[in-house]
Chain A
């Protein structure tokens, strides 16, 4: 389909965003007291091609609620703090490459092919001229086998999309930018 306008190109987020985009850790607490669903802590670590921690990434998460729903446009009231959808969060990685979100386990997303519960990741950092996407699924979930995206990923790479439970209520997810075990990144 022909388009009239050239899209604005992406540019790196650079190293100096903290005082603006990630000035409050509150953006990592996605579940509110009234949000229905199973509460989890989600710890994410980002490492580079040398295996070193990436200390200046931004991790954004977008996810469905416990029923697998996203808010419809009419429900989106950007200035209203009282919503109950978890939907979105944003944190910077620390010097050790880790960040930790508080959220809920999303529900499976219904459709022609049911998508297993997952959280969408949008990743920005110095050295990424455009952001990259990936997904976090939950190891051990019985619905992984039928997930339409995981079907497209080579079997030996699917584990890069799985968070592992490290203790009750705590999940860990590694994002490896390069090298052995490079995380599967998505074109959307």
Chain B
């Protein structure tokens, strides 16, 4: 772990042997610190694919109708570490269907695909940093990391933020999921409070009567003056 002793404990170590794929893929040599200012590059122009409103409703991408599963909305804000909202930043999400199956050629475990669910969405935050997706709750699924290994239900998030160093790819989990303590990916984060940051909150205020369950998931990206070489108090 010599590579990571100085790293902020809110972030996972690169080498986490309980998650077996890290063993041959985590860099072993110390990272070189880029001098201050050289990593602070502008927000990228990612305009190859225009974003449309329908991109953020994953229940409307089906072949013939609506997907099976528990309809839900996930909403929140993207903030920096000082609590300032990040406006107009791209969020991309992807997930398994309600049965825990991805529409991906390499996911062949015996759970059904849903012809009415693809499982990918995009949107941009508004002026207050807010975003919202409509989807169905993903199922847990097995993987081969260890005997009887199951990933807790999760939604993958990709966020750009304001510049090169706010780039973030992460996963959102669901409150009370009994699989979380057994998951080496989530448990690869040393700090318990930081792990809690990845667990969405069920919110009755976001729950729409007779329609969908509401979850809140706020995302805090690194600020422009973050100091990764200092432990956080």
Residues of A within 8 A of B (CB): 1-21, 23-24, 26-27, 48-50, 52, 54, 56, 60, 62, 70-73, 76-81, 83, 85, 87-88, 111, 115, 120, 122, 124-133, 148-149, 152-153, 157, 177-179, 182-188
Q: A128 touching B26 by the CB < 8 A rule?
A: yes
> Which residues of A lie under 8 Å from residue B107 when comparing CB positions?
16
Q: How far is the CA of A10 from the CA of B32 in the complex (A)?
A: 19
Q: B35 touching A152 by the CB < 8 A rule?
A: yes
Closest CB-CB distance, A61 to chain B, in whole Å?
9
A14 contact from B41, B93, B156, B164, Cβ within 8 A: B156
The 9 closest A-B pairs by CB, nearest first: A127-B21, A188-B39, A88-B44, A20-B94, A127-B25, A20-B120, A129-B12, A49-B24, A3-B81
Q: Which residue of B lies closest to A23 (CB)?
A: B120
Q: How far is the CA of A8 from the CA of B14 in the complex (A)?
A: 16
Q: B48 touching A81 by the CB < 8 A rule?
A: yes
Q: B47 touching A83 by the CB < 8 A rule?
A: yes
> Which residues of A lie under 8 Å from residue B94 when comparing CB positions?
16-17, 19-21
Tell me, yes or no, whether B146 is within 8 Å of chain A by CB. Answer: no
B167-199 residues with Cβ-Cβ distance < 8 A to A are 167-171, 185-186, 188-189, 191, 193-195, 197-198
Q: B42 touching A129 by the CB < 8 A rule?
A: no
> Which residues of A lie under 8 Å from residue B171 when comparing CB positions?
11-12, 14
Closest CB-CB distance, A13 to chain B, in whole Å?
5
Q: How far is the CA of A13 from the CA of B94 in the complex (A)?
A: 10
Q: Which residue of B lies closest to A1 (CB)?
A: B225
> Which residues of A lie under 8 Å from residue B16 when comparing CB positions?
129
Q: A177 touching B27 by the CB < 8 A rule?
A: yes
Closest CB-CB distance, B142 to chain A, in whole Å?
13
Closest CB-CB distance, A35 to chain B, in whole Å?
11
Q: How far is the CA of A10 from the CA of B161 in the complex (A)?
A: 14
Q: How far is the CA of A161 from the CA of B83 in the complex (A)?
A: 36
What is the predominant secondary structure among interface residues of chain B facing chain A? loop
A126 contact from B21, B88, B119, B219, Cβ within 8 A: B21
> Which residues of A lie under 8 Å from residue B83 when comparing CB positions?
4-5
Tell me, yes or no, whether B233 is within 8 Å of chain A by CB. Answer: yes
Q: How far is the CA of A30 from the CA of B108 in the complex (A)?
A: 33
> Which residues of A lie under 8 Å from residue B69 when comparing CB positions?
none
Q: A16 touching B102 by the CB < 8 A rule?
A: yes
Tell me, yes or no, whether B23 is within 8 Å of chain A by CB. Answer: yes
Interface string of B26-38 (1 = CB under 8 A from A): 1111011111011
B194-233 residues with Cβ-Cβ distance < 8 A to A are 194-195, 197-198, 219-223, 225-229, 232-233
Given the known inter-chain contacts A6-B194, A19-B94, A62-B44, please indicate yes or no for A149 contacting B32, CB distance below 8 A: yes
Q: How far is the CA of A179 from the CA of B21 in the complex (A)?
A: 16
Q: A124 touching B169 by the CB < 8 A rule?
A: yes
Q: How far is the CA of A19 from the CA of B101 in the complex (A)?
A: 13
A188 contact from B22, B120, B164, Cβ within 8 A: B164
Q: B31 touching A185 by the CB < 8 A rule?
A: yes
> Which residues of A lie under 8 Å from residue B118 when comparing CB positions?
19
Q: B12 touching A184 by the CB < 8 A rule?
A: no
